[in-house]
Structure 1
């Protein structure tokens, strides 16, 4: 009999080791395995990291992978110690003689993962049943958890039959657009980028255009039919941020609705959880007859108890949301952030599980180019990352003026990944070298300079304050207070002595 208290400890380290070892000794199985298996099915964190490392190494080396390449790949990214070091990698690789049983290993790992996942759903459902409030609502929430928190998806045989349909029985459907070639109706669109780039401003401009029927930026002579927008804002204040931005963008605020809470008959107020509140959301949608767009800002805040890094849990939640969008015909726009990593393309930089990108049908990036001496007022860009229903969409430039968006007239045709690559971090040693070279150019053979001005100039070259201080220390740059202004001055070593004597 299975002990529910120990359920989350059910796993097979032998099967996990055998699967990872098979991948290392036979890279030819990595492709078919990665299409049918998620690294999150593995129990040990180290095994999840090894799996991710093997797949990333295999992809970055065009299908080549061995123990030495894997070691160097993990070491270059500072992840070798996290997986147990070289000795543990060797131990894993030597756990199997060949890859003959890799599918059996994978099936065992998936079965245990499904067991743990099912227990998690049952435990969550029990918590809902034991909570307060009307019985019907507790039942609805617990049943939703059992339905939506499915066991880990797997392509391994479970005895089910496949249903087939001839394509002649499938009626073609034309894609309907909210914003042509940008935001499709009845589907999920992601708007991503680093914080502070202007994602929320762009969303408010879109909502304003929907509310008034104003033309889209590329078609200024073609007005549209006005419609309503529903906004779920979990980070921005409605009164201080959302309403002023809508006003600045010229929105008809009678057609923009904001989520406040879910008020139950018992008086409880909750935040939205798309894994359990879709029935309530669908009822709310019917009260806004001309609803055309729903915004989740950020989309991760409406996932409830789903782990945003779990492929299975995110896919289950977003698939349910996608089905809702198709049933209602509403465009769903989710806002998300980029992760810190910059060594991959935009699609895989989206924060959380890759399922965010996989389920979304359209993804756009908001990006601000870096400040440089040649470009003190850099462009803000709206760039395509993924679009399943438009061929070669182009980006747009924009600026934020008086709290409103002003779109550029010309399309941006440069490749999105190439534009983003210009911001990729340099190695720390190169950054320090650049900072030292900057100080040399500013101070050597020249008059002392106010430290405040040096910091200001350095930021224009994307040199951080901390890196500048580190360079100053290594170069032994002199620092002293001016006798006249009392401000801190920096000078090249030995060149500022006369100023100090004159204090």
Structure 2
């Protein structure tokens, strides 16, 4: 039981009610510094709780400020001290030439962005590039003579989309790469556990590895990050908004400094957005920061389509999209992919196949402006002609609200207004269709007022 012997009790009158006139006279003496607290122990505990709450609020506000800084593309720990401009005269600056791994395509000391539609052949091109780096073989278009061969160099490989055993190694083998010169980054170890690689958190570890390789006299010439979007998240930015240029610059720009420090070519692989009518520069998935950070932007895509025929599905184009390079290659490479057997699975004896590129020609007529969208340009010359012809053909039959689609098609092909291929793809854009008693009928679409 609680001992209440020494607890102060208010005075009462003859009826047992508190006598408020005598309360002040009977109250024990009290330290005025206690305020509303009963005793010093309670006051100390209350002060400690108040300080703890203030510290928590301060940390929360600091975290909020850091998140806002990172959202704006600023360092999280940036100082609020006054900033001063730093100047230098260009009179004493020594000019430097760009050092190219593959002239006009992949520069050293910079980031190259390799973009393309899914299945276009990005990985196949990357396998061929890696092969030529690791063996010193001549680049496409160079004469295959002893003087054209270079010193073999090493490649650092970071990839998540393809299985190394089933896709990457067979593809590199098909291209003739020296696999001993390719080193894979499998991930990172943290407190004894395997963790996912992060471009935010593991830059220092990569820098250390590149420095050690350089100091041992066996440096890396190229770093592959495929795809770059898989490795953007980290401790600072758990989720990177691909449409936020500030966030992307925060992640990408330190890697540009790394490329310049170790004179290494960094190739970041990404995809094109699905909007095929946008320019090449604006089809790269994510923010314009991708395009602005890279020195070279290479696109891989299907070869040109015509109205009359579909191209060989294995026929591709490799194009330099950035047209302001002084060493621009002057065209785009046409190539086709070929499937070859590269070995036998030791587990079950099944043959292993992979693709490699066969380079055809450098076509000066292929430019980013002529290769927009899957149809690679306007729908065709038939577009306006058919629209006018259909309106006139429909006017010949003023007593008919609908015309059979089969009749319209037959006449349009006989008069060579359009091709059969164009009809199948685009005729529906110009006509309103309806099934009337089992027969598909049509009439010109009415333009909106």
TM-score, reference length from structure 2? 0.63
**1:386 and 2:309 are equivalent in the alignment:** no
Distance in 2 (CA, whole Å) between partners of 1:302 and 1:332 is 14
Structure 2 alignment gaps of length 5 or more: 1-53, 340-354, 391-403, 412-419, 442-449
Secondary structure of 1:386's match? coil
Match of 1:230 among 150, 156, 179: 156
Q: Aligned to 2:113, which of 161, 175, 190?
A: 190
Q: RMSD value over aligned CA atoms? A: 4.0
Q: Find the aligned partners of 2:183 and 2:407 in 1 and give their Cα distance.
A: 54
Matched, 1:298 2:227: yes
What are the within-5 Å matches in structure 2 for residues 26-37 of structure 1? none
Q: Secondary structure at the match of 1:205?
A: helix
Looking at structure 2, the residues matched to 442 and 252 of structure 1 have their Cα atoms a distance apart, in angstroms, of 62
**1:400 paired residue number:** 337
Residues 196-215 of structure 1 correspond to what in structure 2 (within 5 A)?
196-215=119-138
**1:242 pairs with 2:194:** no
Q: For the residues of structure 1 that align with 2:102 and 2:61, how far apart are their CA atoms?
A: 48
Q: Secondary structure at the match of 1:186?
A: coil
| d(CA) in 1 for partners of 2:436, 2:357 | 46
CA distance in 1, matches of 2:93, 2:275: 42
Residue in structure 1 matched with residue 284 of structure 2 by the alignment: 350
Q: Over residues 205-264 of structure 1, what are the superposed CA-to-partner deviations in whole Å (9 max), with x where a residue is unaligned? A: 100111111100021332222111111111111111101111111111111122211123
Please give the alpha-carbon distance, in whole angstroms, between the structure 2 residues aligned to 1:442 and 1:275. 63
Q: CA, structure 1 residues 199+341, in 2 after alignment: closer, same or farther (shift >3 Å)?
A: same
1:268 aligns with one of 188, 193, 207: 193
- Mapped to 2, the partners of 1:8 and 1:195 lie a distance apart of 42
Q: CA deviation at 1:362?
A: 0.7
1:255 pairs with 2:211: no
Residue 62 of structure 1: aligned partner? none
The structure-2 alpha-carbon separation of the partners of 1:286 and 1:423, relative to structure 1 and needing over 3 Å to count, comes to: same
Mapped to 2, the partners of 1:412 and 1:334 lie a distance apart of 26
Tell me how far 1:194 sits from its aligned partner: 1.3
| Local SS of the residue matching 1:367 | strand
Change in CA separation of 1:236 and 1:460 when aligned onto 2, cut-off 3 Å: farther
- Structure whose residues are more often helix by fraction: 1
Which of the numbers 360, 365, 388 marks the counterpart of 1:413? 365
Q: Does 1:283 align with 2:220?
A: no
* Separation of aligned partners in 1, 2:368 and 2:423: 23
Residue 104 (structure 2) pairs with residue 181 (structure 1): yes
Match in the other structure for 1:341: 275
Report if the CA contact (8 A) 2:433-2:440 is conserved.
no
- Work out the CA distance in 2 between the residues paired with 1:441 and 1:414: 38
Equivalents in 2 of 1:217, 1:237: separation in Å?
A: 27
Unaligned runs of 5+ in 1: 11-113, 122-145, 152-156, 447-456, 479-491, 495-503
Residue from 91, 95, 98 that aligns with 1:168:
91
Q: CA deviation at 1:150?
A: 6.8
The count of aligned residue pairs is 327
Contact 1:210–1:227 under 8 Å retained in 2: yes
Contact 2:74 2:246 in 1 (8 A): no
Matched, 1:377 2:377: no
- Flag the structure with more relative contact order, 1 or 2, with Cα contacts below 8 A and sequence separation at least 6: 2
SS at match of 2:372: helix
